[in-house]
Structure formats: structure tokens, C-alpha cells
Amino acid sequence: MTFEREELINLIKKNISLKQIDLSEIPDIDLYMDQVTTFMEDKLKEFKRTKEDKILTKTMINNYTKNKILPPPEKKKYSKDHMMLLILIYHLKQILSIGDIHSLLSSVSDISIENLYKNFTDIQSIECKNFSEEMPKKIDELQKQIHPNEENFDKLTLFSMIFFLIIQSSLEKRLAEKLIDTFFND
């Protein structure tokens, strides 16, 4: 296995270039379930790890409604607020449990869904930029911890990156859970 720093940098750039759904792209008209799943599949397809992955299914949406994470549709139609919440739920469920998402989103009644969504996309943009700027520095830092004459230098660099990302993600996930437990659970 040969490690190419530029290849890793390109992976990072590709990862952070995932398109977010701008508020203006979310339809102002109410949509039926099939239209919702088609919209989400189209707009979030870049987040799939494999082609077989599903972004959102009818069953998922029904379960979110049943678990009171998502308000029920009106006359079987989903509003722009529903769509924004579904996009947020999609991103949140990558890290948080359904119970944590419920705790978090059940307290948004006094906040505009649009403001919440805008806040999320603003943070997403900033953090993607920060990530792309900091990761090359982190690669260099991790490589300095490995002796350059080490037999498997390239492989150790990749393991170091994966370990770093997992540890970082774990710490951030645990803090997010503690914030939800402290401030959003009754």
C-alpha cells in the first residue's frame, strides 16, 4: 500500500465538497410522500457511501412521525418545515440515536424551523471549510509521530488518520450526547 499525501488531500476535498441543500432549493409547495423521498434521494445522494444506501424511506418517515420526531403531515402532504426537519434528521441520525434526536427536536417549538435549518447550514459551511484547512496540517502532525524509516510508514499514516478521526468523532459525539442529556432531556 502506497500512501500518497495528495490522494488523501483530494479525498478530504471531495468529502467536504458535499453539497448542502440551500433553503431556496426546498419546495414552497407541500409534497406527497413519494415526492419527499425522491427529493431527498436526489439532493442528498452525495452523502451515500454506496449506491445501494437509502437516504430516506417511507418507513423511516412514518417512524419519525410515530415517534413524534416529525409532526404528522397535513392531508398526507409534507410542508417546507417538514422537509427542513427531515434534512436535519438525516444529518443528526448519522451520529445520534433516535431518542437523542427526539429529545433535541422536541424542544424546537419556540424556534423557527427555518432559523434552525439556516443555523445548521451556516455551521456546516464553516466547519467544512475549517476541516479542509486543518486536515492537511493534521496529516503532517501525525506523520511526525511516526519514524520516517518505519517499515510501514504509509500504512501507519493511514491508520493514524483513521484513529484520529474516530477518536475525534467519539469525543464530539459524547459531548453532543452530554449536552442533550443536560439541557434537552426532561
pTM assigned to the model: 0.91
Indicate whether 14 pLDDT > 70: yes
The cell for 15 is 468529502
Binned at pLDDT 50, 70 and 90, residue 58 comes out as very high
Expressed as residue numbers, the domain containing 137 is 5-183
DSSP secondary structure letter of residue 29: S
Q: Are residues 87 and 101 in contact, defined by beta-carbon separation less than 8 angstroms?
A: no
**Count of the separate structural domains present in the chain:** 1
Task: Let me know the angle formed at the C-alpha of 155 by 150 and 159, rounded to the nearest 5 degrees.
Answer: 110
pLDDT score, position 148: 76
DSSP secondary structure letter of residue 18: P
Tell me: the pLDDT tens digits for 79-91?
999 999 999 999 9
Tell me: the pLDDT tens digits for 103-126?
999 988 889 999 999 999 999 999
Binned at pLDDT 50, 70 and 90, residue 6 comes out as confident
pLDDT score, position 2: 62
Q: Cα(109)–Cα(30) distance, rounded to whole angstroms?
A: 20
What letter represents residue 143's amino acid?
A: Q
pLDDT score, position 5: 78
Residue 43: phi, psi to the nearest 5? Answer: -80, -25
Task: Let me know the angle formed at the C-alpha of 99 by 64 and 181, rounded to the nearest 5 degrees.
Answer: 145
Q: At what angle do helices 113-144 and 80-92 cross, to 10 degrees?
A: 20
Binned at pLDDT 50, 70 and 90, residue 73 comes out as very high
